[in-house]
Structure 1
Amino acid sequence: MKKLLIIAGVLFVALGGLVLKTLSDAGQFKHLTPHAPGKCTPVSGMPGAEDITFHPSLGYAYVSSDDRRATLAGRPVPGGIYRYDLSGTTPPVLLTGSFSPDFHPHGIGLHVDPSSGAQTLFVVNHSRSEGQRIERFEVGEDGLLVHRASLSDALLVSPNDVVAVDAQRFYVTNDHGYPPGARQVLEDYLQLALGNVLYFDGQRFQEVIRDTKYANGINRSADGRTVYLAESVGRSLRSYERNLETGALTLLNTLDLKSGPDNIELDADGNLWIASHPKMLDFASYAGDLTGKSRAPAQVLRVTGTGADLKATEVYLDDGSQTAGTATAAVFGKRMLLGPVFEKDFLDCELP
């Protein structure tokens, strides 16, 4: 009996330690002091604007929108890609109205040809009938998106974000090693490193990064030589040197963000803007609440520097009062667009 009590005590202490570690790693003990760099205005009409990216010179943004609450409730509605003009002279324009109704976009990646200006947009699509796919669109003369290809592969287990290399090649993250279900939940709470990054070379998919803790946002430097990866559960930003010929990636640096990073955007100066989840368990609760009454804090980090000298500075923090579960912070000039995973509105914020 005494031996059993000792074993039970050891197991209890071990379990308590695991729970405390999980809570600490998820940021649940953080004290949040909300602040913003300027006025933020809600923009309606594009629910679940999980990813937003700017054309690098023309001042409008592409917005990936999907009503995930409706999908979780079993009443999916078609998602869409919109164009949002910062000037405010025109309302947001749906660019995929003629595409499949089974369209549930997630991460997006834009390539602009430096010579011709031709635009190619890659989109992660969680098709309910066709499975996980990457859609390739070209921007037509009228500005609408023209569908060119649907790419699928068994390696696309749980695709999240995509970054274009050119009009044919791209990297895509798998945030989990298992598809949605009980095993995926265990993967998160046990902090298992089962995510990865795939490279599509124009012909086939191949794994180029493995053993990641929720590989989320991905982007690259303007010269294409550095690839940045956000690990949400790993609470870090990884930098990789990219082989321009083969697409292979070599780890250069890992920056501890002490928060759960989501998507990565770059400004004109090459600084990284990362939307993040400072309290991961709050976000998990919020994501699972079909009523939308739960709230989760939202954070934006700006990362400056290069190599081992990268430094993260908090630019925005909200406790869930103004917005919740922000996944993207896209910047153009003195404007910052904050895209949420579930909220009906995204925020258009002023920068100093």
Structure 2
Amino acid sequence: MFKLDISIKVLASYFTKIVTPALIIIFSFIIKTISDAGEFKTIEPHFSGDCIAVEGVVGAEDITFLKDGTALISSDDRRNRVSGLDVQGTIYRYRPNDSNDKLFNLMPKLDIGFHPHGISTYEDTDGKIYLAVVNHYSSGLFSALGGHSVEIFIYNSDSLSHIKSISHPLMISPNDIVLINKDQFYVTNDHGTSSERKQTLEEYLQLKRCDALFYDGNDFRVVASGLGFANGININDDGSLLYIAETLGKRLSIFSRDINTNSLDFIEAIDFNSGIDNIEIDSDGNLWIGSHPKVITFSRHMKDSTILSPSQVYKLSFEKENNHKIEEVYLNLGEELSGSTVAAVYDSTILIGSVFERYFLDCSY
């Protein structure tokens, strides 16, 4: 009995000294993860303008405006992909101010799977408009399995002409793209591995293992690394600055770009305290960014459409050198639109898209 009593005391002491601190560490880690994901935020919806829902476009994950006010929209039914239905994605043309010809499907028939993600356009000196599309041709947006490519098209007002497909082993999880001419581009990898299990660990441990690649027309190379879920990417008007949205890093990283070598040098990171996504730039050089204020809620929304995910839009303006202003233009609980990923602006029109909704928002402000 005495020996048993000693054993119980030893076990109790062991539990107090070892197990209890371990549980405290685990609990603290869980709370920190939830807090970092924005789950404790209070969402107070606001927007000074008016929005209408444009039906018939599923999963408008990325949207970009051409110089004439025409918008191109990346669309894919990702919930069907999850359920096993292989429905091809598409690119839509949308003209906000044309009541007779607003929405038009531009896609030609392709011999490969087409599941578009990020898009970018470039207008050449001869007037030709090139469209680059990140394509998950045999996987889908949230799968680590399958193949990825960049598809290059020429935009012809009422059609797209497919030029070529580009693939490379370094594109392990491509997300967004920005063309710098008709042959060259930068593209982000939103994970540092193609393993689904390791991708999950990256996300929950907030590991900065992502990168950005440059394609010179022949080959790829890494030009930025150590990023926390590298997502949206864009470039300023004169090509001297490149912007990368880090969703899990909750910041916008700004790089100077050598126009001769296309190498990047990190300048600064601007904190947003939100899971920022795609980056669009208006005619005044302001950045417009779709964002996820509650990242874990967005993850739950991915699996269950009945769970609403808040939507958020930021405007970032650079007033003077080393001086910027962040304005939260739009915030909603997810009732109007869940899981906003992009806000494209032309004059007084904002088009807000998302990953899963079966419509996008056409807003005036």
| Range of TM-score over shorter length | over 0.9
The residue number in structure 1 matching 2:82 is: 72
SS of residue in 1 equivalent to 2:265: strand
Is 1:135 the counterpart of 2:148? The answer is no
- Whole-Å Cα distance in 2 between the matches of residues 98 and 168 of structure 1? 23
Cα displacement string for residues 70-124 of structure 1 (whole angstroms, at most 9, x for unaligned residues): 00111120000110011132131111132346100000011012x3221011000
Within 2, Cα distance between the matches of 1:179 and 1:294? 28
Q: Residue 308 and residue 17 in structure 1: after superposition, are their counterparts in 2 closer, same or farther (change >3 A)?
A: farther
CA contact (8 A) 1:49 1:65 kept: yes
Question: Where in structure 1 do 4 or more consecutive aligned residues deviate above 2 Å?
Answer: 97-101
User: Structure 2 counterpart of 1:118, which letter?
Assistant: K
Q: Distance in 2 between matches of 1:284 and 1:180?
A: 18
Instruction: Tell me the residue number matched to 1:224.
Output: 239
Letter in 2 for 1:294: I
Is residue 78–residue 101 contact of structure 1 (8 Å, CA) maintained in 2?
no
Where does residue 126 of structure 1 map in the other structure? 136
Conserved? CA contact 1:253–1:308, under 8 Å: no
Kindly indicate whether residue 59 of structure 2 is the aligned counterpart of residue 41 of structure 1: no
The share of aligned pairs that are identical, in percent, is 41
Deviates more, 1:175-184 or 1:200-209: 175-184
Q: Distance in 2 between matches of 1:313 and 1:249?
A: 27
Q: Which amino acid aligns with 2:44?
A: T
Counterpart code for 1:268 = S
Cα separation, 2, equivalents of 1:251 and 1:280: 26
Per-residue deviation, residues 231-280 of structure 1 (Å, max 9, x unmatched): 00000001100010111110111000010000000000000000000000
Asked whether 1:295 is paired with 2:308, we answer yes
Matches within 5 A, 1:247-326: 247-289=262-304, 292-305=305-318, 308-326=322-340
Structure 1 residue 16 displacement after superposition: 1.2
Q: Give the C-alpha shift of residue 338 in structure 1.
A: 0.2
1:81 pairs, out of 91, 113, 129, with 91
Task: Please tell me whether residue 160 in structure 1 is matched to residue 175 in structure 2.
Answer: yes
- Segments of structure 2 that go 5 or more residues without pairing to the other structure are 1-10, 140-145
Residue in 2 aligned with 1:95?
106
Cα separation, 2, equivalents of 1:218 and 1:273: 12
**2:207 maps to which residue?**
192
Quick one: distance in 2 between partners of 1:229 and 1:101? 29
Does the CA contact (< 8 Å) of 1:239 and 1:307 recur in 2?
A: no
Alpha-carbon spacing, 1:288–1:307, altered in 2? closer, same or farther (3 Å): farther
- Give the AA of the match of 2:131: L
Deviation at 1:210, TM superposition (A): 0.8
Residue 106 (str. 1) matches residue 117 (str. 2) = yes
Question: Given the alignment, which residue of 26, 38, 41 partners 2:37?
Answer: 26
State the SS of the aligned residue for 2:164: strand
SS at match of 2:117: strand
* 8 Å Cα contact 1:66/1:105 also seen in 2: yes
Instruction: Give the root-mean-square deviation of aligned CA atoms.
Output: 1.3
User: What code does the residue aligned with 2:86 have?
Assistant: P
Contact 1:48/1:66 (8 A) holds in 2: yes
Q: Does 1:344 align with 2:358?
A: yes
- 8 Å CA contact retained: 1:39, 1:350: yes
Q: Encode CA deviations 1:21-49: one digit per residue, 9 max, x unaligned.
A: 11111001100100112110001111000
Counterpart position of 2:65:
54
Aligned twin of 1:14: 25
The alpha carbon displacement at 1:307 in A equals 5.2
Aligned residue runs from structure 1 range 163-242, under 5 A: 163-179=178-194, 181-242=196-257
Q: CA deviation at 1:184?
A: 1.0
Instruction: Compare 99-108 and 279-288 and name the one that shifted more.
Output: 99-108
Secondary structure of the structure 2 residue equivalent to 1:76: coil
- 3-state DSSP class of the match of 2:18? helix
2:15 & 2:334 partners in 1: Cα distance?
Answer: 46
Q: Residues 79 and 100 from structure 1, CA distance in 2 versus in 1: closer, same or farther, beyond 3 angstroms?
A: farther
> For 1:113-148, what per-residue CA distance to the aligned partner results, in whole angstroms no more than 9, with x for missing partners?
2x32210110000011771000011123x5311111
Q: Secondary structure at the match of 1:9?
A: helix
1:219 to partner: Cα distance? 0.2
| Residues in 2 aligned to 1:52 and 1:254: alpha-carbon distance in whole angstroms | 24
